[in-house]
Copies of this chain bind each other. A is one copy, B any other.
Amino acid sequence: MEFKISRAFIEQIEHLIQENKAHELEVLLQDIHFADIAEIMNDLQDEQAIYIFNLLDSEKTAEILLELDEEVREVILRSLSAKEIAEELDELDTDDAADIIAELPQKKKAEVISELEDVEHAKDIVDLLRYDENTAGGIMAKELVKVNENWNVLTCVKEMRLQAENVTRVHSIYVVDDEDRLKGRLSLKDLLTTSTKTQISEVFIKKVDYVKVDTKDVEVARIMQKYDLEAIPVIDELGRLVGRITIDDIVDIIKEEADKDYQLAAGISQDVEADDSILELTKARLPWLVLALFGGFISVRVLGIFEPAMENHPTLFLFTPLIAAMGGNVGVQSSAIIVQGLANNTITGSIINRLIKEFSLSLMNGAFLSGILILVCHFVFGFDYSIGITVSIALLSVIIFASLIGTFIPIILDKYGVDPALATGPFITTSNDIMGILIYFTIAKAILGF
C-alpha cells in the first residue's frame, strides 16, 4: 500500500520545479501523503523545498512541517513570516505546535505567538512551553475529552461532541470534579454499549493510570509500554487534569532511546543520521576517537614498560592485539547486557549477585577460550608450552576482569544518575585494552620471570 519514492520521481519533481510548472506539480502531489512529501522535500535543495511548500495548502503543509528533518524545517521556517508560521500552527495540535515554536529564535517566538488566531489554542501552547521537553509536560497535548462527574449522560454526550471536534483521536474520556481534578475515566466502548440515560458518577471507572507533569519522558514510555496504554492523562501538582499523552508520541521516544544507546555503544555521541552533513558527523564521532587515541597513547606507554622483554620473549608481543581485542569484546558484551537491562528495568537483585553471576559466566567462557588458545599455540603455531600457558592464563584473567568492569561501571554510573550507555563502546574497549595489556605482561613477567 505504501507509496515508494523513487529516484526517478524526485528527478521528475526537480525538473517540474526548474520549469516552474506549478500546476502540474500540484496535480502530481495531490494524492501523496504528507509524510511522503516531507521525505521528498528532505532530499531537495533548499529553494526547491521552499517552492514545493508554498505550492500546497496549509492543512497539508502544517503536517509536513512536523515530519521534515530539523534542518529542512529550519530553512522553511526562515522563509516564512511570523503570521504565516502562526497560520500553520493553528492547524496543529498544541503539543506539535509547541514543539515547533520551541525551535524558533527567541524574537520570532514572541511574534508568532502574538499572531496565533485561536486564543484558547494560543494559551494552551504558551502553557506547554513552560515544561521541560523531556518530561510528561513537555510531550503532552492539551487536546482531550473530559466530562464532569456531576453531569448526566445527556449533557456529557453533547459536551463530548463539541470537544471531539478538536481532538484528532479520542482514546478515553476523562472524568473530573468541579475543581478539574482527575477522578477516573469512561471508556469509549462503554459509551458505545451503555444506555444514554445513565448518570456519569454511576458508570465511570474510578481506577485510572496517570503521570505527573514532571515525570521523565522515558518513564512515561516505560509505564505506557508496561501497562499497554494507548493514552495516559497528565496531572499537575494539585491533581488537576492538564493534558494527555498518546502512544504515537511514545513510539518516537522508545525508538530514540534505543537508538541513542546503540549510538553511544558505537562511539557516536549525538543523534546523527547517515544523511547529516560531514561537519555534524565529525562533531559526533571525533571526540570519541580522540578519547580512544589518548587511551592508545597510554597503551603505548604501558607496553613500553615491558619493552625490554622483547629481546628474550618476542613471541609475547605477537599476542598483544589478541589479548586487547578479547578484553574489549567481552567488556562490550557485559556492558551492553547491563545497559539494556537498566533501560528495560529488568535489573533486579544486588550488585554483588550480579557480579558473581558475571564472574561464573566469564570463568566458563574464559576457560573454554583459553583451552582453545593452548591447543592452537602448541599444535598450530608450534610455540613452546610456556608461551601457550602464559598467554592463556592471561586471557582468562583479562576476560574475567573485563566482564566484571563491563558489569560494574554501568551499574555505578546509573546509581549516580549518569547515563550508563556512556560506559559502553570506545570507553570500555579502550580501558580494557590498557588494563588487558597490563594484566597480560604482569602475569607473563611473574611466570617467565623477565
Contacts and interface: CB of A to CB of B under 8 A. Distances in A.
Contact of A321 (B265, B338, B340, B437): B437
Given A189-B170, A274-B337, A296-B326, A247 B230 contact: yes
A444 B265 CA distance: 32
Contacts of A226: 35
Counted per complex, copies of this chain come to: 2
B328 A328 contact: yes
Contact of A2 (B223, B247, B304, B381): B223
Given A247-B230, A299-B322, A321-B437, A336 B372 contact: no
Contacts of A273: 337, 340-341, 344, 346
Interface in A398-436: 424-426, 429-430, 433
A347 B276 CA distance: 11
Interface stretch (A102-110, A115-123, A279-287): A279-287
A320 interface: yes
A67 to B, nearest CB: 8
Contact of A324 (B301, B321, B360): B321
Nearest to A323: B296
Contacts of A299: 321-322, 325
Contacts of A286: 365, 368
B326 A292 contact: yes
Contacts of A75: none
Contact of A292 (B2, B167, B254, B325): B325
A300 B278 contact: no
A130 interface: no
A43 interface: yes
Select the residue from A225, A266, A292 with max chain B CB neighbours within 10 A. Answer: A266
Given A251-B247, A290-B369, A297 B376 contact: yes
B35 A278 contact: no
Interface string A190-226: 0011000000000000000111100000000001011
A192 B210 contact: no
Contacts of A247: 230, 247-248, 251
Nearest to A36: B226
Interface in A1-49: 1-2, 33, 35, 43
A279 to B, nearest CB: 9
A393 interface: no
A365 B278 CA distance: 10
B209 A192 contact: no
A407 to B, nearest CB: 9
A165 interface: yes
A165 B169 CA distance: 20
A165 to B, nearest CB: 7
Contacts of A161: 192-193
12 contacts: A161-B192, A164-B189, A170-B189, A230-B230, A254-B258, A266-B333, A293-B369, A296-B323, A297-B376, A300-B381, A325-B433, A332-B425
Given A1-B210, A169-B189, 7 more contacts: A266-B333, A273-B341, A290-B372, A300-B321, A304-B318, A317-B320, A325-B433
Interface of A: 1-2, 33, 35, 43, 160-161, 164-165, 167-170, 188-189, 192-193, 209-212, 223, 225-228, 230, 247-248, 250-251, 254-255, 258-259, 261-263, 265-268, 272-275, 278, 281-282, 285-286, 288-290, 292-293, 295-297, 299-301, 303-304, 307, 310, 314-315, 317-326, 328-330, 332-333, 335-338, 340-341, 344, 346-348, 354, 357, 360-361, 364-365, 368-369, 372-373, 376, 380-381, 424-426, 429-430, 433, 437
Closest 10 CB pairs of A and B: A296-B322, A266-B336, A258-B258, A274-B341, A262-B262, A303-B318, A299-B321, A321-B324, A300-B318, A292-B329
